[in-house]
Structure 1
Amino acid sequence: MSEIEGHATDLAADVQTRLNTLCKPPGSLGGLEDLAAQLCLTQRTLTPQTKPRHAAIFAADHGVTAEGVSAWPSAVTGLVVRQMANRKTASGVFADELGCSYEVVDVGLIEPLPCYEGAAVNQAQQRGTASLAASPAMTLPQFQHAWQVGTQSATGAMEAGARLLIGGEMGIGNTTSAVCMIALLADVTDGAQVDQMVGPGAGADDEQMIRKRAVIRQAIQRVQGLGPSHAETIACQVGGLEIVALAGYYAAASQSNCTVVVDGLIATSAALLANAIRPGCRQRMIAAHRSTEPAQQIALQHLQLKPMLDLQMRLGEATGALAALPLMDLASAMICRMATLDELQA
């Protein structure tokens, strides 16, 4: 048992006692009580807070897009990131509506933005990854740089007082990378099983899905023998720069009394990587929603996380995590501010 897990176990009984003594029948608020307990355990307190909160979106391009695995070319990544920087995409609109600070970090766009303003930050050292189909996606130094970018982002947010840290991503082709990562980190290497993990991502058609499955099988076969104990090597072989940055963000956040809110498929692959490299950091995580992408379910099972929402979402970009914030606010308010039965009788 890790230190984080030990602290969570010690606190769990006190949390349940608190919930049972609030002015309501025990368990009558259902999943909101479970969510309140998760907030308490991730923050190591009986009075968890959901504000201030911060969302970081990491963006990078993927060489594997050249293999025809996506409905969109890599150029779309940069176009979307420009709109993200101006808070005109779903994640930016959601963050503004919910009072969540927001940054978009270029950790590997093929084409840098014309200017970095608004929410955009340039931390790119490498302009995209190599194609994971035939070669390692990145070198170890490139992995280390991306990880450090994520670490610095989380550290800055926590130093500014954030209690909830949300991570998101943008990168055409990154569902291919995420499925490879999850399959290898979860030790799923049978070809038929891997095929069942592959979803359409950003709208791949039937022909693109055939290519996508073939590329994923090829990449997994290329690195056969790597398993969960080789997490950094797996990331170098088949990962994405934004996925590594997001994993570093999660791992850094787990070192403090903050709650990490995990989004969809790509974010869950990053969470799996973070927990493989920093065992126990899953204890700081809350899964926001169930994606329609099938590989996410395998990663969630390995992380022992139960998603809050099932809204048939598949956009990524932290949108599912942001959508879950109102429920988290209610769960926090309930356990922090409701009267107890003893107070009613006083």
Structure 2
Amino acid sequence: MKILERTLNEIKELDQAKIREAKQRLDTLTKPQGSLGKLEKIAAKLAGITGDVFAPVDCKAHVVMAGDHGVVEEGVSAFSQEVTVAMIHNFLNQGAAINVLAQQVGAEVIVVDVGVAQEVGVEGLVVKKIKAGTDNFTQKAAMTEAEAIASIEVGIEVVEGLVDRGVNLIGTGEMGIGNTTSSSAIIAACTGLSVDDVVGYGSGIDDKGLARKQEVIKQGLKLNQPDSNNGIDILAKVGGLEIGAMAGMMLAAAAKRVPVIVDGVISGAAALIAQKLEPKVVGYLIPSHKSVEPAHIKTYETLGLEPMLDLDMRLGEGTGAVLAMNLVEAASRIIKEMATFEEIGL
């Protein structure tokens, strides 16, 4: 708990003076004012996050937090938990979509076992396992409060290590069969939206599976009664260990004044948990893409964020976050490298 408390206390408001300075420079560049749209907004936000108008984002890292979910016992996923292990091997063998996209943008991929049900035992995996998957939240809380805090602190520790190595742009990703079920439960608990409005098809279930998934989430929320104002309680009651770890990543990035990119609906659920713990964290979040999962756009609306991309994606792994790294770097380079009207003699 001490790690979490320290981190929350270190999160400050964005540097408004640097945001104004960045906007002033953007308005002097050789283009109509505001004509680069969201890229200009990102450039100004980077200045506010880092305190540097010319903030570099050239050392990129993407973290895939892996954890399993006891609620898969209820038939909410098209895949079994063995897929979690298989995909971890795939990540570390550079064979997954996230690896291809990360290589394109020059981002290091780090895979962390925070709660995989099985022992993976593969070289290159960062093992910070809290427990072998969450409990089935239709029968009891997904985890204890202490386990929820521990998951958040895993994310904090991972990001602190990356920042110490010079990383200045971080992506959030995940792997865990059943995690859209937990994410939807978190989003319903955080926002007050109905379960039917936030639950999607996840990994590819059919209409019968969707109805089952909705019923399971309703059952879990009714049994556990998470406190909508308490992020740790929500995470413990219906969340996932990898979701807690991503929330910790976001909090630590904010404390270290490093931009962190939100991915899809699962990363979005983590952002809601982080926001419950410290609302100022939202200023440090860069939204990437809009998932086809119905809960995702509602999550962005709750956070007050607007995604950059809409590519009909729903893979997870942080694929949208890594794709957005190109745009974040483009924003960083525009404000630094474009000429001003004065410089060209106008």
Please give the range of the TM-score, normalised by the shorter of the 2 chains: over 0.9
Identity %: 38
Change (3 A) 1:4 1:241: closer
Is the deviation greater in 193-202 or in 235-244?
Answer: 193-202
**Structure-1 separation of matches of 2:278 and 2:60:** 23
Asked whether the equivalents of residues 136 and 236 of structure 1 are also in contact (C-alpha less than 8 Å), the reply is yes
**Structure-2 separation of matches of 1:181 and 1:125:** 20
**Structure-1 separation of matches of 2:267 and 2:300:** 11
> Structure 1 residue 224 and structure 2 residue 217: aligned?
no
Asked whether the equivalents of residues 115 and 130 of structure 2 are also in contact (C-alpha less than 8 Å), the reply is yes
Residue 23 (structure 1) aligns with: 30
Residue 124 (structure 1) aligns with: 129
**Structure-2 separation of matches of 1:211 and 1:11:** 50
Q: Could you tell me which of 96, 102, 105 is aligned with 1:95?
A: 102
Other structure's SS at 1:343 match: coil
Other structure's SS at 2:260 match: strand
Asked whether the equivalents of residues 4 and 283 of structure 1 are also in contact (C-alpha less than 8 Å), the reply is no
Other structure's SS at 2:103 match: helix
Letter in 2 for 1:85: L
Shift of 1:248: 0.7
Q: Could you tell me which of 152, 157, 161 is aligned with 1:147?
A: 152
**Structure-2 separation of matches of 1:253 and 1:3:** 10
Shift of 1:136: 0.2
**Structure-1 separation of matches of 2:274 and 2:153:** 13
> Structure 1 residue 62 and structure 2 residue 63: aligned?
no
Shift of 1:137: 0.3
Residue 311 (structure 1) aligns with: 311
Other structure's SS at 1:320 match: helix
Change (3 A) 1:239 1:260: same
Change (3 A) 1:319 1:58: same
**Structure-2 separation of matches of 1:148 and 1:233:** 15
Counterparts of 1:1-346 in structure 2, within 5 Å, are 6-113=13-120, 115-118=121-124, 120-188=125-193, 193-224=194-225, 226-227=227-228, 229-345=229-345
Asked whether the equivalents of residues 189 and 226 of structure 2 are also in contact (C-alpha less than 8 Å), the reply is no
Other structure's SS at 2:174 match: strand
Matched pairs, number: 338
Residue 6 (structure 2) aligns with: none
TM-score, L = length of structure 1: 0.94
**Structure-1 separation of matches of 2:321 and 2:244:** 18
**Structure-1 separation of matches of 2:285 and 2:226:** 29
Shift of 1:157: 0.6
**Structure-2 separation of matches of 1:10 and 1:233:** 36
**Structure-2 separation of matches of 1:288 and 1:168:** 12
Shift of 1:3: 9.1
Letter in 2 for 1:169: E
Asked whether the equivalents of residues 12 and 255 of structure 2 are also in contact (C-alpha less than 8 Å), the reply is no
**Structure-2 separation of matches of 1:307 and 1:220:** 28
Asked whether the equivalents of residues 15 and 37 of structure 1 are also in contact (C-alpha less than 8 Å), the reply is yes
**Structure-2 separation of matches of 1:3 and 1:91:** 31
Unpaired runs of at least 5, structure 1 = none
Asked whether the equivalents of residues 70 and 172 of structure 1 are also in contact (C-alpha less than 8 Å), the reply is yes
**Structure-2 separation of matches of 1:92 and 1:332:** 23
Asked whether the equivalents of residues 159 and 249 of structure 2 are also in contact (C-alpha less than 8 Å), the reply is yes
**Structure-2 separation of matches of 1:336 and 1:33:** 12
Is the deviation greater in 24-33 or in 165-174?
Answer: 24-33
Change (3 A) 1:144 1:37: same
TM-score, L = length of structure 2: 0.94
Asked whether the equivalents of residues 5 and 280 of structure 1 are also in contact (C-alpha less than 8 Å), the reply is yes
Shift of 1:134: 2.1
CA-to-aligned-CA distance 1:61-91 (integer Å, 9 cap, x gap): 1000010011111111111111111221111
CA-to-aligned-CA distance 1:267-314 (integer Å, 9 cap, x gap): 010011111112201111110000100111121111111101000110
Unpaired runs of at least 5, structure 2 = 1-8
Asked whether the equivalents of residues 163 and 257 of structure 1 are also in contact (C-alpha less than 8 Å), the reply is no
Other structure's SS at 2:166 match: coil
Shift of 1:121: 1.2
Asked whether the equivalents of residues 52 and 163 of structure 1 are also in contact (C-alpha less than 8 Å), the reply is yes
Letter in 1 for 2:291: S
Is the deviation greater in 85-94 or in 175-184?
Answer: 85-94
**Structure-2 separation of matches of 1:153 and 1:241:** 14
**Structure-1 separation of matches of 2:209 and 2:149:** 32
Change (3 A) 1:151 1:5: closer
**Structure-1 separation of matches of 2:192 and 2:30:** 46
Change (3 A) 1:203 1:247: same
Asked whether the equivalents of residues 42 and 285 of structure 1 are also in contact (C-alpha less than 8 Å), the reply is no
